[in-house]
Amino acid sequence: MAETTETKNRSLIAAVAAAVGASICCVGPFVLLTLGVGGAWIGNLTALEPYRPIFIGVTLVFLGLAFRKLYLVPEACETGKACADPVTRRKQRLVFWVVTVILAALVAFPWYGPALLG
């Protein structure tokens, strides 16, 4: 049975969710401060910092699964279906790489964030 586009995108969506979890301790306060929100409670957002490596690992696993589905596993698709169109596959790969770059920026934020803030 051929996979639908929805099941193919699950790995990518899960990777985005994990990256957001990995970066919330660092990006969250930065976003709130740029929006003008302040207060001592913003410091509590760093409570997720110890879990950051776990979130990064989960992000990499799901990105790896998405890469595997897009590049390594041959797709069995019926003629006439959307998945049989090479343009669809090209768009999926483009979205994958755009999301990967955004996720890399989120995960690397603790290293370049201080340069933006000060």
The pLDDT score that the predictor gives to residue 97 is 93
Distances (CA, A) of 79 to 2, 3, 50, 83: 12, 14, 49, 9
Contact (Cβ atoms closer than 8 angstroms) between residue 55 and residue 19: yes
Please give the mean pLDDT across all residues of the chain: 75
Quote the crossing angle between the two packed helices 109-117 and 86-107, to the nearest 10°. 60
| Number of independent structural domains in the chain | 1
0.75 surpassed by pTM: no
Range of the domain at 24: 5-117
40-86 per-position pLDDT tens digit:
566 666 676 787 888 888 888 888 888 988 888 877 777 777 677 78
75-116 per-position pLDDT tens digit:
777 777 767 778 888 888 998 899 889 888 888 877 887 787
